[in-house]
């Protein structure tokens, strides 16, 4: 069994960073997927006492951002394109 660190793990930090970067157009889906995967892997490690529980909030935030931000960005792009197309139609 490994010693558990006191701070958030690299997976937790990576999940949060990828979640924040998922707002980037066209790369957001890949970054969001990476945030979700890293967050879930670290949460499993925390559950098995292989990682510090200090990173749990980072993991949850990364997973939420990785799911929500690409959807918001996609909706903004779709609405913008649709609005521009409707404006050109009249």
Return phi, psi of residue 40, to 5°. Answer: -65, -40
Domain of 40 in residue numbering reads as 10-89
5 assigned to some structural domain? no
Angle at 25 between CA 62 and CA 8, to 5 degrees: 20
pLDDT digits (tens, 9 = 90+) for 11-50: 999 999 999 999 988 888 999 999 999 999 999 999 999 9
Question: What are phi and psi for residue 51, nearest 5 degrees?
Answer: -140, 160
Cα(34)–Cα(3) distance, integer angstroms: 26
Enter the pTM of the model.
0.84
- For 61-73, what is each residue's pLDDT tens digit? 999 999 999 999 9
In a domain, 60, yes or no: yes
69 Cβ partners below 8 Å, 6+ apart?
A: 19, 22, 23, 28, 32
Q: Judge whether 32 lies within some domain.
A: yes
Q: Is residue 4 part of a domain?
A: no
């Amino acid at each position: 069994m490994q010693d558990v660190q006191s701070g958030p793990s690299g997976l937790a930090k990576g999940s949060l960073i990828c979640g924040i970067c998922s707002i980037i157009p066209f790369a957001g889906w890949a970054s969001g997927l990476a945030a979700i995967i890293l967050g879930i892997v670290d949460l499993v490690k925390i559950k098995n006492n292989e990682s510090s529980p200090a990173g749990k909030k980072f993991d949850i935030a990364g997973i939420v951002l990785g799911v929500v931000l690409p959807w918001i960005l996609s909706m903004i792009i779709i609405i913008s394109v649709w609005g521009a197309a409707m404006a050109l139609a009249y």
